[in-house]
């Protein structure tokens, strides 16, 4: 587009320069003359584009220090002054855009000295010259020019300019990917300079109706706000110290690896681990996946939050402003709004998010990091809050994909277990991965970084600790490969707190408890002299630890993020033993010294005023479990620790509501609690765990709770009392008495299920600790009330559609549910490993993704039951009714189906290897692509069954009725399992598809006359 302005540059300005007539031409003319002189010196005096500056060595683009935006503005002014003509919108935009683009490019070169040194002196190539010549001939319409002003990065000019710059960068030594990323960043950054150019060219372009000074200021303030946010809220994160250390997260961080999770929530088998950051980068680059939410799951301590910190800063350094990272801790969101857009506006406390149109500004694309979906406040977790929140996020991402004004991306992290019971209701546009533990290579990288901080001697000693033959395998292969525990192990070994012999004879849970227990002691003994005032250092370590356990309980009851200091103080004030020790040290409750006590290593200032939070959620959960352990022990030995406990059930009843009526017990807390109860954390500590007495007292509470005794109390029920207490302490707490009642009762049920499993593993306790959630069978082996559990499940809908499943589902392993009526119940993803469901009514129930390994389902009624993807390997389903059940893709290996009614059931893709189906009714069953190798189908009824593509190698079909069966494509033989087995009683009448079956044995061919 060799317009009038450039024609003027190539004639009049040159004449002014050559005639040395610069006097009297004004400031604009002098600047234009300087530009013409530079072009002439670079051999560009016949240029038709300002962008031909790129033909000179790139170091000179920076070195000249020319203000390109100012030059363009003055050129316009000089053109109008000398010609008395008004340039068109297209002419103005074509010139000003080049200036803004060059200014943006200069920004990146000035910030990256290494890059400038790498590419700065390379001369231009003929290909770049050809592209520039082609660009000069571009015809830009006023419509396209308007689009350029609105959003440069999506404009025709951006596309054309990027072609030139990308080729120039590649010719200067960058690879194609590097060049593409940098050109995208330059284009995305151009808009701020384009707006500036409009402002400084106001006189020259006033006839075009350019943005007002006010609008320009608003735009500049937005960009300044983004710059400030990135510097203060993102760039600082990797530099924060690791706990109380003198080194930062950046100093010891190593990349994380992950594996994919498919749409059915299954960990994808036989896939290589991949780099988590690389996966995220590819998703950002893939235009076909702009509707996908990046969904990162993992257990505690696997590095989810630190990954968010590190990757957000990487995006800031390498992708901004193509993507602008915004990090949101979900624990800091006080209330979930009706839409995710409203929630974002409330969560992002920055000036650029104050404008209602901040999410529809095409010049800004945000990458939102939502860290910790499992840490949403209690209001967000109850009543299906998490499920609703994820649906909002999924819809927001779809909106961004479909709306050209948005285009943002979302990356969300959290604990996998928080999704229990809602996976089938989750959005279908999640690209899910799960963080894996460190492999040898990553662990070695971490140790190398540790060595850089601590030195070779201490690092070598720690490596010897991990390699010692006395170090348990679970510490070597699991715990020392999780970032948080690896750090704690290394730090405590450095300070001589941990010895390898401490771990002898421990299992994984016990080893983890040992690490956390020693970590608490480590802080309270090694560091408190630095952190606590004189009065508090007079307290015993056990006394300070007692304060921390109460803080742990409060943080967990507050939703797992932060707790008001006032709440902790109030609980301590009501605890006689703690009150006495504080008085002994002359520390008034509520005085600052108590707050100093809470500031040791684990706790920091919370996001809310007057609150504290644990630096890592796991510390709070461990200390909460320790606090629960104290009360559970006292319920069987009153007054042992001087807490004023009396033997009346009413006191224990209240303590149950006080301790457990806040929300669901997490698997981590239960794991720590049972480990602490069954094996004291300190070797010298007396074991006060009395399992039988504890079981009996909790069972008594459970039975009364099932009858509604506590919620029906007058004048004030225990749930009401706890409700008032929480609302007074937390202010925003909105749990009602029904929700509190459900949480207290189901949490007790969890404890009873755990105690049941503990007792069944010990011969002396087997008959003393048998928990019947549905009621104890009568002398005839039947239940007096078969609907008890069904009523409890229905009652649990008060805390969400999958309330019972989300709270109790993971703890049903080994449960005795025989004879119960669970018809139509949803138990998706439940852990029913080894559970007794014999004789239960499960018609129409849904067990997708449930673990039913070794479950006893003898005589159960499962007609129409949904068991897709469930794991039933080894389960006893003999004589069960599974007619019309959906068992597609389920793991049914070694299941006992003898005499079961499986008519019309869907077994497509199921694994039935080694299953015993003798005498089973499989009439009209769908067994397409099922894996039946070595299964026993003797005397089974397979009339009209569909076995297309099934693997029957080694299967026993003796006496089986195969009349009307479709065996098209079925495999009847392989080298490992051998031929399918049959006898003279096998009925092959009207069998279809044998002519296309694979490896039909010769003997069978002869018998059926197929040769």
pLDDT tens by residue, 648-667: 578 899 999 999 999 899 99
* Gyration radius of the chain's alpha carbons: 35
pLDDT of amino acid 341? 92
Token pair in block for residue 273: 């681990």
3 state SS of 108: helix
Q: Say yes or no to pLDDT of 178 above 60.
A: yes
pLDDT of amino acid 996? 77
Q: What is the mean pLDDT of the chain?
A: 82
Q: Counting beta carbons within 10 angstroms of the beta carbon of residue 496, is it exposed (0 to 12), middle (13 to 18) or buried (19 or more)?
A: exposed
Using alpha carbons, list the distances in angstroms from residue 1009 to 88, 392, 706, 967, 1003. Answer: 89, 62, 66, 16, 10
Pairwise CA distance, residues 314 & 432, whole Å: 21
Token pair in block for residue 546: 């007692």
Shortest CA distance to 78 belongs to which of 146, 9, 173, 165? 9
Lowest mean pLDDT among 27-31, 237-241, 251-255: 27-31
Give the contacts of 381 (CB within 8 A, at least 6 positions apart): 559, 663
Q: Say yes or no to pLDDT of 148 above 70.
A: yes
pLDDT of amino acid 547? 80
Largest CA distance in the chain: 119
73 — phi, psi (to 5°)?
A: -65, -45
Pairwise CA distance, residues 413 & 327, whole Å: 11
- Please write the tens of the pLDDT for every residue from 699-747: 999 999 999 999 999 889 999 999 998 888 887 667 889 999 999 999 9
Q: What's the pTM value of the predicted model, to 2 decimals? A: 0.77
Pairwise CA distance, residues 20 & 208, whole Å: 34
pLDDT of amino acid 657? 96
pLDDT of amino acid 645? 41
Beta strand extents in 141-289 (DSSP E only):
257-261, 274-275
pLDDT of amino acid 945? 83
Q: Say yes or no to pLDDT of 12 above 80.
A: no
Contact 729, 564 (CB under 8 A): yes
Higher model confidence: residue 459 or residue 728? Answer: 459
pLDDT of amino acid 216? 67
Q: Which letter does DSSP use for residue 799 in this model?
A: G
- Please write the tens of the pLDDT for every residue from 923-934: 998 988 888 888
Lowest mean pLDDT among 274-288, 539-553, 761-775, 869-883: 539-553
Tally the C-alpha atoms within 13 A of residue 38's C-alpha that lie toward its C-beta.
20
- Please write the tens of the pLDDT for every residue from 311-359: 999 999 999 999 999 999 988 887 788 889 999 988 998 889 988 889 9
Q: Say yes or no to pLDDT of 21 above 50.
A: no
Shortest CA distance to 472 belongs to which of 508, 518, 516? 508
Higher model confidence: residue 248 or residue 111? Answer: 248
Lowest mean pLDDT among 223-237, 609-623, 896-910: 609-623
Q: Say yes or no to pLDDT of 4 above 50.
A: yes
Shortest CA distance to 726 belongs to which of 857, 844, 559, 590? 559
Q: Say yes or no to pLDDT of 207 above 70.
A: no
pLDDT of amino acid 531? 43
**What mean pLDDT comes out for the span 189-212?**
69
pLDDT of amino acid 45? 54
Token pair in block for residue 837: 């469901």
- Please write the tens of the pLDDT for every residue from 516-559: 888 887 777 665 444 443 444 445 667 777 888 888 898 888 87
Give the contacts of 491 (CB within 8 A, at least 6 positions apart): 245, 522
Q: Say yes or no to pLDDT of 637 above 90.
A: no
Q: Say yes or no to pLDDT of 468 above 80.
A: yes
3 state SS of 415: strand
**pLDDT tier at 43, thresholds 50, 70, 90:** low
> What percentage of the chain reaches a pLDDT higher than 70?
82
**pLDDT tier at 595, thresholds 50, 70, 90:** low
Which of the residue ranges 35-44, 360-369, 803-812 has the most confident prediction, judged by mean pLDDT?
A: 360-369
pLDDT of amino acid 8? 60
Task: Provide the β-strand partners of residue 956.
Answer: 936, 981
Which of the residue ranges 45-54, 243-252, 640-649 has the most confident prediction, judged by mean pLDDT?
A: 243-252
Q: Say yes or no to pLDDT of 762 above 80.
A: yes
Lowest mean pLDDT among 224-228, 268-272, 672-676, 885-889: 268-272
pLDDT of amino acid 601? 46
Q: Counting beta carbons within 10 angstroms of the beta carbon of residue 477, is it exposed (0 to 12), middle (13 to 18) or buried (19 or more)?
A: exposed
**What mean pLDDT comes out for the span 573-579?**
68
């Amino acid at each position: 587009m060799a317009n009038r302005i450039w024609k003027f540059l190539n004639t009049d300005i040159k004449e002014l320069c050559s005639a040395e007539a610069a006097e009297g031409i004004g400031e604009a003319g002098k600047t234009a003359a300087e530009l013409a002189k530079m072009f002439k010196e670079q051999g560009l005096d016949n240029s038709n584009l300002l962008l031909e500056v790129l033909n000179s060595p790139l170091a000179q683009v920076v070195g000249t220090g020319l203000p390109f935006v100012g030059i363009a503005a003055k050129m316009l002014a000089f053109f109008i002054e000398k010609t008395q003509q008004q340039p068109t919108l297209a002419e103005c935009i074509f010139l000003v855009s080049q200036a803004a683009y060059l200014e943006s490019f200069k920004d990146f070169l000035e910030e990256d000295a290494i890059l400038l040194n790498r590419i700065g002196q390379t001369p231009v190539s003929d290909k770049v010259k050809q592209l520039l010549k082609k660009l000069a001939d571009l015809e830009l319409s006023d419509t396209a020019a308007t689009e350029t002003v609105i959003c440069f990065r999506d404009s025709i000019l951006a596309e054309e300019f990027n072609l030139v710059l990308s080729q120039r960068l590649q010719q200067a030594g960058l690879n194609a990917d590097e060049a593409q990323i940098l050109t995208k960043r330059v284009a995305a950054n151009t808009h701020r300079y384009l707006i500036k150019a409009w402002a400084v060219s106001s006189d020259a372009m006033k006839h075009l109706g350019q943005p007002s000074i006010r609008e320009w200021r608003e735009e500049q303030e937005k960009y300044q706000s983004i710059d400030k946010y990135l510097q203060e809220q993102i760039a600082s994160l990797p530099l924060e110290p690791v706990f109380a250390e003198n080194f930062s997260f950046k100093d010891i961080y190593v990349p994380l690896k992950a594996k994919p999770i498919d749409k059915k929530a299954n960990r994808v088998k036989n896939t290589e681990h991949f780099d988590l950051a690389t996966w995220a980068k590819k998703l950002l680059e893939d235009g076909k996946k702009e509707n996908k939410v990046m969904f990162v799951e993992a257990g505690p301590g696997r590095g989810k939050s630190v990954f968010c910190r590190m990757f957000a800063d990487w995006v800031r350094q390498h992708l901004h402003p193509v993507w602008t990272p915004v990090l949101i801790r979900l624990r800091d969101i006080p209330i979930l709004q009706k839409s995710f857009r409203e929630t974002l506006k409330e969560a992002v406390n920055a000036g650029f998010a104050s404008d209602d149109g901040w999410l529809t500004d095409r010049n800004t694309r945000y990458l939102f990091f939502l860290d910790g979906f499992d840490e949403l406040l209690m209001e967000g977790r109850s009543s299906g809050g998490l499920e609703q929140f994820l649906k909002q996020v999924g819809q927001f991402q779809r909106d961004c994909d479909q709306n050209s004004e948005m285009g943002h991306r979302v990356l969300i992290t959290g604990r996998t277990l928080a999704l229990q019971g809602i996976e089938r209701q989750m959005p279908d546009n999640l690209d899910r991965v799960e963080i894996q533990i460190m492999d040898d290579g990553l662990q070695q990288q971490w140790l190398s970084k540790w060595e850089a901080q601590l030195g070779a001697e201490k690092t070598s000693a720690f490596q010897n600790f991990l390699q010692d033959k006395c170090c348990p395998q679970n510490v070597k292969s699991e715990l020392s490969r999780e970032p948080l525990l690896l750090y704690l192990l290394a730090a405590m070994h450095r300070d001589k707190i941990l010895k390898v012999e401490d771990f002898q004879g421990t299992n994984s849970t016990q080893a983890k408890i040992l690490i956390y227990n020693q970590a608490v002691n480590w802080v309270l003994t090694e560091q408190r002299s630095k952190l606590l005032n004189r009065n508090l250092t007079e307290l015993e370590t056990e006394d300070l630890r007692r304060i921390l356990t109460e803080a742990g309980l409060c943080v967990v009851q507050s939703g797992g993020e932060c707790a008001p200091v006032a709440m902790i103080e109030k609980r301590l004030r009501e605890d006689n033993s703690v009150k006495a020790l504080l008085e002994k040290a002359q520390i008034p409750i509520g005085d600052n010294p108590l707050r100093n006590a809470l500031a040791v290593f684990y706790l920091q200032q919370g996001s809310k005023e007057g609150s504290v939070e644990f630096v890592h959620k796991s510390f709070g959960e461990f200390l909460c479990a320790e606090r629960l352990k104290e009360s559970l022990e006292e319920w069987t030995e009153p007054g042992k620790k001087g807490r004023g406990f009396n033997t009346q059930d009413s006191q224990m009843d209240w303590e149950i509501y006080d301790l457990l009526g806040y929300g669901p017990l997490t698997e981590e807390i239960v794991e720590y609690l049972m480990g602490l109860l069954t094996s004291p954390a300190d070797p010298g500590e007396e074991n006060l765990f009395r399992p039988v007495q504890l079981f009996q007292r909790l069972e008594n509470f459970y039975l009364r709770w099932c009858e509604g005794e506590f919620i029906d109390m007058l004048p004030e029920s225990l749930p009401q009392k706890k409700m008032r207490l929480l609302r007074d302490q937390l202010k925003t707490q909105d749990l009602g008495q029904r929700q509190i009642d459900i949480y207290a009762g189901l949490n007790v049920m969890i404890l009873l299920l755990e105690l049941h499993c503990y007792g069944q593993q010990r011969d002396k306790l087997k008959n003393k600790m048998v928990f019947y959630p549905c009621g104890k069978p009568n002398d005839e082996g039947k239940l007096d009330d078969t609907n008890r559990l069904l009523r409890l499940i229905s009652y649990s809908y008060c805390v969400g559609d999958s309330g019972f499943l989300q709270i109790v589902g993971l703890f049903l392993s080994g449960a005795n549910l025989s004879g119960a009526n669970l018809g139509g119940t949803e138990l998706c993803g439940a852990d029913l490993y080894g559970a007794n469901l014999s004789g239960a009514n499960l018609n129409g129930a849904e067990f997708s993704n449930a673990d039913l390994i070794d479950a006893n389902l003898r005589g159960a009624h499962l007609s129409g039951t949904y068991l897709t993807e469930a794991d039933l390997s080894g389960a006893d389903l003999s004589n069960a009714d599974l007619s019309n059940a959906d068992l597609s893709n389920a793991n049914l290996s070694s299941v006992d189906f003898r005499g079961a009614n499986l008519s019309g059931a869907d077994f497509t893709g199921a694994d039935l290897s080694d299953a015993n189906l003798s005498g089973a009714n499989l009439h009209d069953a769908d067994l397409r692509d099922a894996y039946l190798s070595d299964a026993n189908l003797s005397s089974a009824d397979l009339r009209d069954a569909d076995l297309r593509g099934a693997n029957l190698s080694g299967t026993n079909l003796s006496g089986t009725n195969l009349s009307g069966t479709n065996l098209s494509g079925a495999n009847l033989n392989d080298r490992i399992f051998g031929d399918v087995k049959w006898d003279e009683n096998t009925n092959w009448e009207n069998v279809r598809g044998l002519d296309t079956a694979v490896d039909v044995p010769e003997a069978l061919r002869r018998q059926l006359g197929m040769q």
